[in-house]
Chain A
Amino acid sequence: KAGVTQTPRYLIKTRGQQVTLSCSPISGHRSVSWYQQTPGQGLQFLFEYFSETQRNKGNFPGRFSGRQFSNSRSEMNVSTLELGDSALYLCASTHGSGGSETQYFGPGTRLLVL
Chain B
Amino acid sequence: KQEVTQIPAALSVPEGENLVLNCSFTDSAIYNLQWFRQDPGKGLTSLLLIQSSQREQTSGRLNASLDKSSGRSTLYIAASQPGDSATYLCAVRVTGNQFYFGTGTSLTVIP
Interface, chain A (partner B; CB < 8 A) = 4, 31, 33, 35, 42-45, 48, 50, 55-56, 58, 88, 90, 92, 94, 99-108, 110
Contact = CB atoms under 8 A, between A and B. Distances in A.
A56 B98 contact: yes
Contacts of B98: 33, 45, 48, 56, 58
Nearest to A57: B98
17 contacts: A31-B97, A42-B103, A42-B104, A43-B91, A43-B101, A44-B101, A50-B97, A55-B96, A56-B97, A99-B52, A101-B32, A101-B97, A102-B46, A105-B44, A105-B46, A106-B43, A107-B42
Given A42-B102, A103-B46, A108-B42, A33 B32 contact: no
B103 to A, nearest CB: 5
Given A55-B97, A88-B41, 14 more contacts: A4-B43, A42-B103, A43-B89, A90-B43, A94-B97, A99-B31, A100-B32, A101-B93, A103-B46, A103-B99, A104-B46, A105-B45, A108-B42, A110-B41
A28 to B, nearest CB: 16
A114 B30 CA distance: 39
Nearest to B51: A99
Interface residues of B, number: 26
A106 B42 CA distance: 8
Given A102-B49, A103-B46, A106-B43, A45 B99 contact: yes
Q: Nearest 7 CB-CB pairs, A to B?
A: A43-B101, A105-B43, A105-B44, A56-B96, A99-B31, A56-B98, A107-B43
Given A33-B97, A43-B89, A102-B49, A108 B43 contact: yes
Interface string B25-44: 00000011010100001111
B44 A48 contact: no
Interface string B72-96: 0000000000000000010101001
A42 B100 CA distance: 10
